[in-house]
Structure 1
Amino acid sequence: MTGRLGPILLAAFILAGLAGCKSGSEEKAAGGSPAEIAAALNEGPRAAESMTLNPGLASWGEQLFKDKACVTCHAVGERKQGPDLAGVADRRTERWMKRQIMDPEWMLKNDPIARGLMAEYALQMANQQVKDAEANALIQYLLRETLAGR
């Protein structure tokens, strides 16, 4: 029994170690100040360049956009109380969008882009307690809308 268990445990440890690896900019920012971490969030390719569209996830994201009341302040192709989200996946990275969706208070405190949006719209984005999978779906919806608007 132990002869079989050894290779399985070794593979599990290797996979666990690989799962903890970070990209270069994330690694650099991990030990930095909050401002450096925020700046690193929008470094690299824009979401529309780095992501592959998942239509099913995008459909769920569209429903979440309504269910979480994002439509109260945001639209795609129309300015409302908050920023127009048309083309947002061409302007921001996936990491930036995810942090903004999941932790808007942190972003407002540390990210100059978020502070600029607050200054322009005089409205703080509400924290909707969005979970990781929901944020991914919302980003897929925004990616779909960005690609459709080109």
Structure 2
Amino acid sequence: MSLFIYACSSNNSEKKADRTYAEESAPAASDPNAYDPHRGEGKFDKVDLGDKLDVAMAEAGKTIVDLKCASCHKMTDEKLVGPGWKGVSERRKPEWIMNFITNPDAMLDKDPELQAQLELCLVRMPNQNLSDDDARKILEYMRQNDGVK
């Protein structure tokens, strides 16, 4: 699964110790068709991560990643077919990650940063038809990869 075209060449190194994310202005709430760059396009509006890493969930996420994602993504910042995943859980909100995992087509069609990354990576992420539960496990594995304990 080619998960994060966004990270393909991004060198954004914002620290997320306080779990805040990129300061972008969200679209006006009165425009239901506006794309929200903080949460992406999909059903996830709020993802509760908890204070600590769920190790069992991260291990299950690794199993899914090894099966569906590792052929295109490395857990480092190195590009393979798609971008490396290092730091992605620090650069993006969990809602955005979950929405991209479960709804990549709409995200690629609407997110200007993803469209720019697509020009660099040259391969559109396929929809792997992952469940919400699988997406959450992958997110937890990404968090583990980024040093969350």
Q: TM-score under structure 1 normalisation?
A: 0.68
Partner of 1:38: 36
Residues 1-150 of structure 1 mapped to structure 2, 5 A cutoff: 29=29, 32-33=32-33, 36-41=34-39, 52-68=52-68, 70-77=69-76, 78-147=78-147
In 2, are the aligned partners of 1:98 and 1:135 still within 8 Å (CA)?
Answer: yes
Q: Greater helix share, 1 or 2? A: 1
Please tell me the residue identity of whatever aligns with 1:135: A
Equivalents in 2 of 1:80, 1:51: separation in Å? Answer: 32
Please tell me the residue identity of whatever aligns with 2:74: A
Please tell me the residue identity of whatever aligns with 2:54: N
> Residue 143 of structure 2 aligns to a residue in which SS?
helix
> Residue 95 of structure 1 aligns to a residue in which SS?
helix
- Structure 1: 5+ residue runs without aligned partners? 1-24
1:51/1:131 CA distance change after superposition, 3 Å: farther
1:121/1:61 CA distance change after superposition, 3 Å: same
1:143/1:120 CA distance change after superposition, 3 Å: same
In 2, are the aligned partners of 1:97 and 1:139 still within 8 Å (CA)?
Answer: yes
Q: TM-score under structure 2 normalisation?
A: 0.68
The Cα shift of 1:104 comes to: 0.7
RMSD, matched Cα: 2.6
Please tell me the residue identity of whatever aligns with 1:89: S
Identity, in percent, stands at 25
How many residue pairs were aligned?
115
